């Protein structure tokens, strides 16, 4: 699985202009785009999902061209086969957990899942240990449970890639650690590559195999974190905060992540 992103976009508001000019390639199970707020990481993720249209550039996921301004290709969001987990999960408030997860596979006239879909929904709810919440509404469940519903809803269509927008920002710090492990188990279980954007160095330490650092709308550096010593693309060793955290974390590969079972975080 290989993701190629090369996009340019100028965002204008009354007060200022923001130039996004981002180019990176990644082919790892978990890639993290790291940057402060306003660095352009959300805009990048939205462009990959097809929610915003770049001014120019090219986006290729797993050999499939999703956007290419030169060829006039702009695949609509619904046909990109890209999973997107919103920062606050964007669970539909008028639907139960079960109906939320079933929505992607239901025809438009159905609210509750049809028989064949119902089994898939049930399996997914069980994998994420939210089967008992099937009839609950999003406002009745906890933050961690909401994230699981968001993941289940996205994974039911077997997306080619999973995009996660600040997946742990809406959770309290203790829960974050557990949900990070859970996310890695999910990655291992569903074999779906993930692209996570975050401004939390802990997410980099806990998740990243490949790191893209954004700063003011540009890629500052890309770092391969699969083996020590960690070096950036110019071969310069990475020091400082990120490296120290990398030494502290126990999760460094698929194998380690696989040994961590999915647990209810109630």
Partner 1 sequence: MTSAEVMVPLLLTLRVACWATLFATAFGVLVAHTIARSRFPGRDLLDAAMTLPMVMPPTVLGYYILVLVGRRGPIGSWLDSTFGVTLIFTWQGAVIASTLVAFPLVYKAAATAFEGVDAQYEQAARVLGKSEWAVFLRVTLPLAWRGILAGSMLGFARALGEFGATLMVAGNIPGRTQTLSIAIYDAVEAGRDEVANFLVIVTSVVCITILVASGKLLKPRYAG
Which residues make up the interface to partner 1 (CB under 8 A)? 49-51, 76-84, 86, 90, 92-94, 103-104, 106-109, 111, 139, 153-154, 157
> CB of 235: closest distance to partner 1 in angstroms?
37
DSSP character at residue 150: H
Cβ closer to partner 1: 109 or 173?
109
| Smallest distance from partner 1 to CB 78, Å | 5
Instruction: Summarize the chain as % helix, strand, coil (round to 5).
Output: 35, 25, 40
Q: Tell me the β-bridge partners of 18.
A: 11
Q: Measured in whole angstroms, how far is the alpha carbon of residue 85 from the centre of its chain? A: 6
Structure tokens at 182: 């859970």
Shortest distance, CB of residue 104 to partner 1, whole angstroms? 4
With respect to partner 1, which residue has the nearer C-beta, 84 or 188? 84
Of 45 and 223, the one with the shorter C-beta distance to partner 1 is 45
Q: Is the CB of residue 219 less than 8 Å from the CB of residue 23? A: yes
Q: Considering the complex, state which of residue 86 and residue 230 has its C-beta at the smaller distance from partner 1.
A: 86
- Give me the least distance between CB of 110 and partner 1, in Å please: 9
Nearest to 62 by CA among 53, 46, 75, 51: 75
């Amino acid at each position: 699985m290989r993701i190629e992103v090369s996009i340019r976009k100028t965002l204008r508001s009354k007060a200022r202009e923001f130039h996004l000019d981002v180019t990176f390639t990644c082919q790892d199970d978990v890639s993290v785009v790291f940057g402060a707020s306003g660095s352009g990481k959300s805009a990048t993720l939205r462009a990959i999902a097809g929610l915003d249209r770049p001014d120019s550039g090219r986006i290729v996921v797993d050999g499939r061209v999703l956007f290419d301004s030169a060829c006039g290709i702009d695949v609509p969001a619904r046909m990109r086969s890209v999973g997107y987990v919103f920062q606050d999960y964007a669970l539909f408030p008028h639907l139960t957990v079960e109906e939320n997860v079933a929505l992607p596979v239901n025809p438009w006239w159905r609210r509750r899942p049809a028989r064949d879909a119902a089994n898939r929904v049930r399996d997914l709810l069980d994998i994420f240990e939210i089967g008992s919440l099937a009839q609950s509404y999003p406002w009745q469940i906890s933050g961690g449970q909401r994230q699981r519903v968001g993941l289940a809803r996205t994974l039911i269509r077997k997306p080619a890639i999973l995009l996660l927008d600040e997946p742990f920002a809406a959770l309290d710090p203790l829960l974050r650690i557990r949900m990070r492990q859970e996310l890695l188990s999910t990655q291992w279980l569903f074999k779906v590559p993930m692209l996570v954007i975050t401004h939390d160095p802990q997410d980099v330490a806990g998740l990243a195999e490949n790191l893209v650092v954004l700063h003011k709308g540009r890629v500052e550096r890309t770092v391969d974190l699969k083996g020590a010593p960690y070096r950036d693309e110019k071969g310069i060793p990475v020091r400082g905060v990120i490296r120290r955290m990398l030494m502290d974390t126990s999760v460094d590969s698929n194998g380690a992540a696989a040994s961590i079972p999915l647990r209810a975080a109630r």
